[in-house]
């Protein structure tokens, strides 16, 4: 671990100091100035005069984005109507009338009447909630004649009313919702529809940083928020890097910025927002959402859930998990004790989670890849004379993903070699069949979850986390963790291969000519077993001579 590893665990924005200094003088840029693909698609869709009458936009299902898109369309067509709706049914869309003695006495125009000659913007979720509306709405958009709804079918009119409309339909929803719309009508992704999406993040570099800063100006001015200091902007960008899970990206989500900056404005008494105001807003947000993480930590501290952060154990390693609870806004990290025991057998490695139907398909795939790598590394010409079982101890819900495959591999080889694992170190990362350690998700939550356990159980100065080198760009750790890394209380060890991870975790090489390497120890154990079996076989044959 290098002395300056702490600089890798949180975003660094020093290279943008000159652009940050120009922030107060930058002209504001609205959301669509950050969306070249979507802006181009809308401009082209507005100008089309023919068959393509519908547009799908992948965007968060929220009225804020629907109205922003509506305003953008309105700015391009000026006089034509642009209607955004938050509720639909057949009467709302097609209008309705009441008749007596075969004549209409009252008629209420529908959304199609109001949007005739212009655009109608609808949530994909609304269409999915009212699927019976879709066939008629689709027909109307394609120029077919449709009729308003008679409020009283018992009072028909002499001549049916039919209307044709000149209208374009824009459907907005997230990717899952648009997928369901596609399932509802396979035509939706044919030539009938334009497609584009609202991009919710922006890669930050020397060219784009000014765009992002100008976008912040637009957010502040549009929603009446106080000005930001330079330090406040970098603190906001750090929070954004955590939100996007990438140090090189900033979020473009209007709702995320607005919510956080409004909370920070409250802390600043609606005066200029400084970095401490954003940090205070983030701390208060975590506090109000942290009941479940605190209860999970309390269970570990009280010994109800066994997690060791000191000493050594054979076949036991601290893995890292991310807990997502339905209805709870905060995903949080929690260490998990992964153990492996060995017994005589036919080489089978039992995935207990899978056998208990608690392991998902991705977890099973990770286990199989890990086993394939180990078999290849040992270069065996016959199955192992041992069987093993690998399990997440005290896990009572489904486990999925391959992010624990490095930890599971370490517990397995530790048990096979009878070599202890340092319990001060937690491990995360996926392994491929060549022993390369691959990136996984949820790193910030995982590291902080183990950090809190180490903090409450007592720092030793040797505790930390092994993670994939390729995950460093995803880190935006809490300032308390960063400061502990600076002080040498807590450590981060980025690794690229199993050969790099094992010496850190077990204090000996994974393979090589060293007699104490893990592979050599496993080979020696197998050799001793086979020698014992051979001698036992000779003894049995001698006994049989006298039977």
pLDDT, position 1: 44
- List of residues 6+ apart from 183 with CB closer than 8 A: none
- Residues 284 and 262: beta-carbon distance below 8 Å: no
Domain 200-289: give its CATH architecture. Answer: Orthogonal Bundle (1.10)
Task: Kindly list the distances between the CA atom of residue 199 and the CA atoms of 36, 281, 441, in Å, as whole numbers in the listed order.
Answer: 9, 26, 20
Res. 212: pLDDT tops 50:
yes
Between residues 443 and 397, which one has the greater pLDDT? 443
- The full DSSP string for 460-512 is -S-EEEEEEGGGGGG----HHHHHHHHHTSEEEEEESBHHHHHHHHHSS-SSS
Mean local confidence (pLDDT), 473-481: 96
As a whole number of angstroms, the distance between CA 500 and CA 480 comes to 27
User: What SS3 class is residue 178?
Assistant: helix
First to last CA, the chain: 66
- Structure-block tokens of residue 347: 């080489």
pLDDT-derived band at 332, boundaries 50, 70, 90: very high
In the chain, domain spans: 36-197, 200-289, 299-525
The single residue listed with the structure tokens 């994909």 is 124
pLDDT, position 101: 62
Mean local confidence (pLDDT), 316-321: 95
pLDDT in tens, 227-283: 999 999 999 999 999 999 999 999 999 999 999 999 999 999 999 999 999 999 999
As a whole number of angstroms, the distance between CA 20 and CA 455 comes to 36
- Among the listed residues 138, 168, 446, 521, the single catalytic one is 446
pLDDT, position 5: 85
**Highest mean pLDDT, choosing among 112-121, 209-218, 385-394, 522-531:** 209-218
Q: Does the active-site annotation cover 138?
A: no
Domain 36-197: which CATH number of 3.40.50.300, 3.40.980.10, 3.40.50.10800, 3.10.580.10: 3.40.50.300
Domain 299-525: which CATH number of 3.40.50.300, 3.30.230.10, 1.25.40.390, 3.90.1300.10: 3.30.230.10
As a whole number of angstroms, the distance between CA 479 and CA 486 comes to 10
Q: What is the mean pLDDT of the chain?
A: 88
Pairing of strands 463-468, 490-495: parallel
Res. 284: pLDDT tops 90:
yes
pLDDT in tens, 66-89: 999 999 999 999 889 999 998 888
Q: Does the active-site annotation cover 446?
A: yes
- Among the listed residues 123, 377, 403, 484, the single catalytic one is 403
Res. 38: pLDDT tops 80:
yes
- Structure-block tokens of residue 137: 């709405």
Mean local confidence (pLDDT), 278-302: 95
Nearest Cα to Cα of residue 501 among 392, 416, 414: 414
Q: Is 191 exposed, middle or buried (0-12, 13-18, 19+ CB in 10 A)?
A: exposed
Nearest Cα to Cα of residue 168 among 33, 254, 77, 241: 77
């Amino acid at each position: 671990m290098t002395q300056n590893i702490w600089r890798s665990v949180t975003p660094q924005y020093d290279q943008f100091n000159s652009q940050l200094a120009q922030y107060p003088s930058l002209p504001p840029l609205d959301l669509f100035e950050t969306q070249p693909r979507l802006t181009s698609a809308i401009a082209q869709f507005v100008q089309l005069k023919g068959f393509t009458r519908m547009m799908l936009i992948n965007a968060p299902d929220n009225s804020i984005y629907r109205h922003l898109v509506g305003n953008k369309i309105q700015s391009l067509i000026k006089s034509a109507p642009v209607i955004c709706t938050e509720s639909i049914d057949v009467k709302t869309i097609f209008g309705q009338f009441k008749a007596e003695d075969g004549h209409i006495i009252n008629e209420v125009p529908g959304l199609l009447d109001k949007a005739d000659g212009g655009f109608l913007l609808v949530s994909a979720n609304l269409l999915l909630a009212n699927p019976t509306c879709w066939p008629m709405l689709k027909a109307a958009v394609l120029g077919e004649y449709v009729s308003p709804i008679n409020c009283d079918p018992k009072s028909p009119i002499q001549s049916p009313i039919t209307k044709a409309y000149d209208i374009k339909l824009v459907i907005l929803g997230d990717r899952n919702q648009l997928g369901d719309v596609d399932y509802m009508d396979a035509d939706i992704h044919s030539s009938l529809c334009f497609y584009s999406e609202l991009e919710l993040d922006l890669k930050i570099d020397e060219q784009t940083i000014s765009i992002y800063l100008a976008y912040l100006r637009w957010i502040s001015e549009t929603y009446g928020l106080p000005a930001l200091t330079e330090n406040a902007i970098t603190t906001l960008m750090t929070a954004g890097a955590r939100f996007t899970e990438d140090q090189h990206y900033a979020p473009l989500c209007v709702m995320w910025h607005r919510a956080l900056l409004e909370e920070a404005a409250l802390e600043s008494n609606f005066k200029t927002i400084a970095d401490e105001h954003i940090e205070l807003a983030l701390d208060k947000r975590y506090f109000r959402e942290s009941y479940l993480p605190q209860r999970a930590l309390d269970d570990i501290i009280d010994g109800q859930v066994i997690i060791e952060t000191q000493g050594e154990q054979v076949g036991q390693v601290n893995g890292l998990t991310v807990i997502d609870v339905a209805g709870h806004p905060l995903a949080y990290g929690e260490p998990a004790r992964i153990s492996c025991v060995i017994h005589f057998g036919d080489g089978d490695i039992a995935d207990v989670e899978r056998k208990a139907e608690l392991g998902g398909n991705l977890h099973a795939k990770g286990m199989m890849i890990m086993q394939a790598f180990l078999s290849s590394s040992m270069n065996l010409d016959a199955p192992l004379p041992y069987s093993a079982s690998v399990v997440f101890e005290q896990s009572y819900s489904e486990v999925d993903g391959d992010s624990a495959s490095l930890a599971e591999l370490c517990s397995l080889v530790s048990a096979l070699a009878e070599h202890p694992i340092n319990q001060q170190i937690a491990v995360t990362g996926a392994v491929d069949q060549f022993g390369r350690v691959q990136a996984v998700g949820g790193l910030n939550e995982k590291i902080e979850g183990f950090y809190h356990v180490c903090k409450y159980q007592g720092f030793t100065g040797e505790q930390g986390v092994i993670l994939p080198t390729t995950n460093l760009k995803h880190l935006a750790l809490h300032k308390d963790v960063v400061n502990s890394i600076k002080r040498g209380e807590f450590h981060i060890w980025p690794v690229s291969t199993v050969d790099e991870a094992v010496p850190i975790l077990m204090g000996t090489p994974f393979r090589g000519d060293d007699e104490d390497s893990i592979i050599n120890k496993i080979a020696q154990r197998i050799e001793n077993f086979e020698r014992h079996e051979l001698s036992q076989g000779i003894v049995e044959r001698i006994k049989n001579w006298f039977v």
